[in-house]
Amino acid sequence: MNSNKIVSNRHGSAVVTLPSDTEILITRAFDAPAALIFKAWTTPELVKRWWGFETSEWLVCEVDLRVGGRWRWVIREREMEVGFHGEYREIERPHRLVSTEVYEGFPDGEAVNIMTLTEVDGVTTMTTLIHHSCKEHRDGHINSGMEGGMQVSYNRMEDVVVELQRAATAA
């Protein structure tokens, strides 16, 4: 699939690679401007529409979008609460966002995420490079089942940004 050509549906198209013993690289194209992807990633009302599963119950969705600001997302899925939090280190709207990420079930495993949005001819490629402090943390992240949940969330994000784009062009 040509990532720079608009297609009808990119569901399930995120690619996960392991560039080093401590890194995870996620790449996913969206048929929307970088500004809409950035907005969906950093606006609590929109995050609640795409992150997690349709069956997830939101408990906390906080975003203090400034360098040094913190974010925290907590959902309940069945009988389990799942929480993540971090701090924003760099914000270059709408093309780059650097933040820490901690899965609250494993608080010693802080990672640094570098999300880059590159827009070409109406297609935005999102790359997220996740830096872990050691191979064991990276492997734990990969072995957590994160890829399946990530695919679902990114599919849902695609649907949200397509809807936002349609609303913007209709206005």
> Which of the listed CATH numbers 3.90.550.10, 3.30.200.20, 3.30.530.20, 3.40.640.10 matches domain 15-52+94-170?
3.30.530.20
Q: Would you list the domain boundaries of the chain?
A: 15-52+94-170
Mean pLDDT of the chain: 92
Query: Quick one: tokens of 30?
Result: 């969206």
Q: How many CA atoms lie within 13 A of 65 on its CB side?
A: 14
For residue 1, the model assigns a pLDDT of: 43
pLDDT digits (tens, 9 = 90+) for 63-90: 999 999 999 999 998 889 999 999 999 9
Instruction: Dihedral sign for Cα 19, 16, 70, 164, please.
Output: positive
Read off the pLDDT band of 3 (50, 70, 90).
Answer: low
pLDDT above 70 covers a percentage of the chain that reads 95
